[in-house]
Amino acid sequence: MVIRDKLYIDGRWVPPSTTATVEVQSASTEEVLGRIPAAGPKDAAAAVAAARQAFGTWSATPMTERVAFLKKIQEGLKARSEEIARCITGEVGMPLKLSTAIQAGSPIATFGMYARLLPEFAFEERVANSLVLREPIGVVAAITPWNYPLHQIAAKVAPALAAGCTVVLKPSEVAPLNAFILAEVIDAAGLPPGVFNLVTGLGATVGEALVTDPEVDMVSFTGSTRAGKRVGELAAHGVKRVALELGGKSAAVLLDDADFAAAVRGTVNACFLNSGQTCTATTRMLVPQARYEEAAKLAVDAAAKFTLGDPYAETSKLGPLISATQRDRVRDYIRKGLAEGAELLCGGPEAPPALSKGFYVLPTIFGRVQPGSTIEQEEIFGPVLAIISYRDEDEAARFANDTPYGLAGAVWAGSDERALAFARRLRTGQVDINGGGFNPLAPFGGYKQSGNGRELGKYGLEEFLEYKAVQFKPAPKPAN
C-alpha cells in the first residue's frame, strides 16, 4: 500500500495541518491501494501564499528557461511511464495496455507539446499605435477529475507554467496517487519553490478553499456539470476567471451512405473507452430508420468483443468502473432505460458472472431509445450506448443537439464533404469525421453546459494569459 503523508508546498514536502486522511481504493479488487492527506483550508492558504510569492519571479523568467523546465518534466514523466500506467490502472481500472498509451502517454506528450509551442507563441503584437501584450494571469487553482487523472492535470499545469503562471493543484481524491509522481518529477526538475504546489483532499473543504481564496486569480476545473456550477458560483464572488470542462452526451450520427461496419464499430469503441468514463464518449448513436436493424446487429457484435476482466490481464479490453458509487449509479440508469421501454440488446444491470470483486458493469446497448428519455438525455458515465433512429437529416440534427450538453460528436458519411456539412450543424466543441482521431493541438472544450474555455494546443495556453494594451502617442506628421 502506498502511503503519502505530506503535501508539496513551496518546493518542500510538508506535513498537512490536519490528521485526516483519504483511502484510495482499487477499482478492480476493492482493496485499499493507498492513503493520502485530507488537507484543510490552512494548507490551501499556505499553497496559495507560496504560489503568490513565486509569481513575480516566475512570470518574469525567460521563455527559454520555462521551455527547459517543461522538457525536464516531460523527460521525468517518460522515465516513470510504466509506474504511472500501473498506478492509474490500479486507481481507475483502465486496462494496462490502454493506460500505457493514454493515461501515461498523453501527459508526457502534453508537456512536450508546450515546450515546442512556447517559442512560436506571439506574446506581443503591434496594432496601430498600441503594443498588445499577453501576460500570465497569476495564481491558478487547478482542480482535476479521476477518469483521465494525469492527462487532465497536464492539460492545465503544462500551459499554466508555460504562460508564466504559478499553480496549486487539487487532484481528485478518488485517483490522486499519480499526482504525487508528478510532484516528485517536478521537484527533481528543480522548478523554483512555490511555482507548483500540490494539496490533496475533498472538494468541499480544500477545493472550495482554493476557489474562494482572494489570492487565486483563476480556477481551471474539470469534472461534472453539477460541481462545475458550484465552482462558478463560488468564484463569481471574486470576479476571477473560471475555465470549466464539464459533462457530455455526445452523438455519433450515421448518415445513410456511411460505411456502417466501420461507423458502428468506431462508435462502440468510443462509447466504451475507459468503461464509458469519458466525457467525450459517443453514448448516443443516431441511425436512419431504414438501417436500424443493421446498426443494432453490428453494435451487439462489436460489444461482444469487449472482454470484461482484470485490467492487468492481457485479454481484458474493458475494466471496472471507478467506485461502488459509480457502478451502482450506472446500473440504476440501465434499470431506468428498461423501465422507460428501451429495447435491451445486450448487457444489463446484473453483476457480471465470475467477477465477484471490483466495480464491473456489463457493456450494455439499448435500441429504439426515445428522444427525451432519461438515458438519451443524461450523462451516464458508464459503458452504455443508446441507439436512436431518425427519419431525415433535419431530425438527426435536432436530436443530436437536443441535450443540455455540447462537448463532442461524430459524423459518418459516404464522403468527408457530406459529413463536414452536417458537422457544421452540431452545437459541440469537437466533431470527429469518419473516424478522425484526437488532435492535442486542437482546442478541447464544449458548448452549453459542457463548460467554457478551451484546453490543449495554443488555445489552452491563451486561457492562462491576460491582454494588456499599451498606447503610444503617434509621431507628429512632418511639415510640408
Residues forming a β-bridge with 286:
253, 388
Q: Single out the residue of 96, 104, 164, 179 nearest to residue 134, CA to CA.
A: 164
Q: Which residues have a catalytic role annotated?
A: 245, 279
Residue 97 lies in a domain: yes
Spatial distance between the Cα atoms of 9 and 168, rounded to a whole number of angstroms: 9
3-state secondary structure of 140: strand
Spatial distance between the Cα atoms of 323 and 239, rounded to a whole number of angstroms: 35
| Residues 304 and 354 occupy one common structural domain | yes
| Residues 96 and 233 occupy one common structural domain | yes
Residue 329 lies in a domain: yes
CATH number of the structural domain spanning residue 302? 3.40.309.10
* Contact between 201 and 40 (Cβ < 8 Å): yes
| Residues 409 and 311 occupy one common structural domain | yes
3-state secondary structure of 61: coil
Q: Which domain holds residue 355?
A: 250-433
Say which amino acid occupies 33. Answer: L
| Residues 358 and 323 occupy one common structural domain | yes
Spatial distance between the Cα atoms of 163 and 136, rounded to a whole number of angstroms: 5
| Residues 311 and 369 occupy one common structural domain | yes
| Residues 198 and 335 occupy one common structural domain | no
Residue 476 lies in a domain: no
| Residues 63 and 200 occupy one common structural domain | yes
Phi, psi of 52 (to 5 degrees): -65, -45
Q: What is the DSSP track for 394-451?
A: HHHHHHHH-SSEES-EEEE-SSHHHHHHHHTT--SS--EETTPPP-TTS-B--EETTE
Which residues, at least 6 apart from 429, have a Cβ–Cβ distance to it below 8 Å?
Answer: 406, 407, 408, 443, 444, 445, 446, 447, 450, 454
* Contact between 21 and 211 (Cβ < 8 Å): no
3-state secondary structure of 236: helix
CATH number of the structural domain spanning residue 227? 3.40.605.10
| Residues 415 and 462 occupy one common structural domain | no
Predicted confidence at residue 476, as pLDDT, reads: 79
Residue 393 lies in a domain: yes
| Residues 456 and 401 occupy one common structural domain | no
Residue 480 lies in a domain: no
Spatial distance between the Cα atoms of 78 and 68, rounded to a whole number of angstroms: 15
Of the CA atoms within 13 Å of residue 316, those in its CB half-sphere come to: 22
| Residues 463 and 417 occupy one common structural domain | no
∠ at Cα 173 (169, 175), nearest 5°? 95
Strand 384-390 relative to strand 124-127: parallel, antiparallel, unpaired?
unpaired
Strand 364-367 relative to strand 384-390: parallel, antiparallel, unpaired?
parallel
* Contact between 24 and 176 (Cβ < 8 Å): yes
Residue with cell 507560496: 50
Residue 270 lies in a domain: yes
What is the full per-residue pLDDT of the chain (480 aa) written as tens digits? 999 999 999 999 999 999 999 999 999 999 999 999 999 999 999 999 999 999 999 999 999 999 999 999 999 999 999 999 999 999 999 999 999 999 999 999 999 999 999 999 999 999 999 999 999 999 999 999 999 999 999 999 999 999 999 999 999 999 999 999 999 999 999 999 999 999 999 999 999 999 999 999 999 999 999 999 999 999 999 999 999 999 999 999 999 999 999 999 999 999 999 999 999 999 999 999 999 999 999 999 999 999 999 999 999 999 999 999 999 999 999 999 999 999 999 999 999 988 989 999 999 999 999 999 999 999 999 999 999 999 999 999 999 999 999 999 999 999 999 999 999 999 999 999 999 999 999 999 999 999 999 999 999 999 999 999 999 998 778 877
Residue 24 lies in a domain: yes
Which residues, at least 6 apart from 470, have a Cβ–Cβ distance to it below 8 Å?
Answer: 130, 131, 132, 133
Residue 95 lies in a domain: yes
Burial 25-34, CB ≥16 within 10 A → b, else e = bbbbbeeebb
| Residues 237 and 337 occupy one common structural domain | no
Angle between helices 149-163 and 177-189 (to 10 degrees): 30
Q: Single out the residue of 405, 448, 440 nearest to residue 250, CA to CA.
A: 405
Spatial distance between the Cα atoms of 236 and 45, rounded to a whole number of angstroms: 19
- For the chain, the domain total comes to 2
Predicted confidence at residue 453, as pLDDT, reads: 97
* Contact between 246 and 450 (Cβ < 8 Å): yes
Spatial distance between the Cα atoms of 381 and 395, rounded to a whole number of angstroms: 25
- 100-107: list long-range contacts, CB under 8 Å, 24+ apart: 102/148, 102/151, 102/274, 103/148, 103/149, 103/150, 103/151, 103/178, 104/77, 104/150, 105/81, 106/148, 106/150, 106/151, 106/154, 106/440, 107/77, 107/150, 107/151, 107/153, 107/154, 107/182
Spatial distance between the Cα atoms of 305 and 184, rounded to a whole number of angstroms: 39
- Model pTM? 0.97
What is the DSSP code (8-state) at residue 193?
A: T
Grid coordinates representing 3 are 502511503
Of the CA atoms within 13 Å of residue 385, those in its CB half-sphere come to: 33
User: What end-to-end distance do the CA atoms of the chain give, in Å?
Assistant: 84
| Residues 87 and 175 occupy one common structural domain | yes
